[in-house]
Each structure stands twice: as C-alpha cells, then as structure tokens.
C-alpha cells in the first residue's frame, strides 16, 4: 500500500511507532497531488514548503515524545498531512 492510500488511523499508528515520518507522509501526499491534480483540479494553491516545514516540526515533537514516553499525550492528528 502506498503512503497516500493510508487511512488516518493507519498513518497515525505508523507515525507513533516511528515506522514513517510526517515528512514522508507529506511528500507522498504532495507527489500524489502533483500526479493527479491536472485532471481533478481540486487545488487552487499548493504550498509544499510550509507543509514540509510543518512536517519537520511534527517529526521533532514525535521523536521527543517517543524518547520521553509521552506519545499518548500528543494531539491525535499530529504529523498527519491534511490536504
């Protein structure tokens, strides 16, 4: 299964377990948007740089939470790219 096909629950579980990063998920979503949006035309404006910066911050928080044993205290959607 491709990363862009994950459900939010699957993506969250992979993020919390450290099996995937928010940056990887965000890049997969951006790649998918670029691959299909010429036909679908669902986006007026795509802003990859801020999305990737947000993903980096989320990854830092996720790593720190796993290290400190506080991953259950994180917001449920932290690190999930929401397009």
Range(s) of the domain holding residue 25: 3-73
Per-residue pLDDT of the chain (83 residues; tens, 9 = 90+): 899 999 999 999 999 999 999 999 999 999 999 999 999 999 999 999 999 999 999 999 999 998 998 877 889 899 999 86
Q: Are 3 and 25 in contact (CB under 8 A)?
A: yes
Instruction: State the pLDDT at residue 73.
Output: 84
* Residue 16 in domain: yes
* Residue 82 in domain: no
CB count in 10 Å sphere of residue 2: 8
* Residue 81 in domain: no
Instruction: State the pLDDT at residue 83.
Output: 67
Number of domains the chain is built from: 1
Q: Are 52 and 23 in contact (CB under 8 A)?
A: yes
CB count in 10 Å sphere of residue 54: 17
pTM beyond cutoff 0.85: yes
* Residue 78 in domain: no
């Amino acid at each position: 299964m491709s990363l862009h096909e994950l459900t939010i629950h699957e993506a969250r579980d992979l993020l919390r377990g450290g099996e995937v990063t928010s940056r990887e998920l965000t890049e997969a979503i951006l790649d998918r948007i670029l691959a299909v949006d010429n036909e679908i035309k669902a986006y007026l404006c795509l802003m990859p740089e801020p999305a990737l910066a947000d993903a980096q911050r989320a990854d830092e928080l996720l790593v720190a939470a796993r290290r400190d044993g506080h991953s259950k205290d994180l917001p449920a959607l932290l690190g999930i790219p929401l397009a």
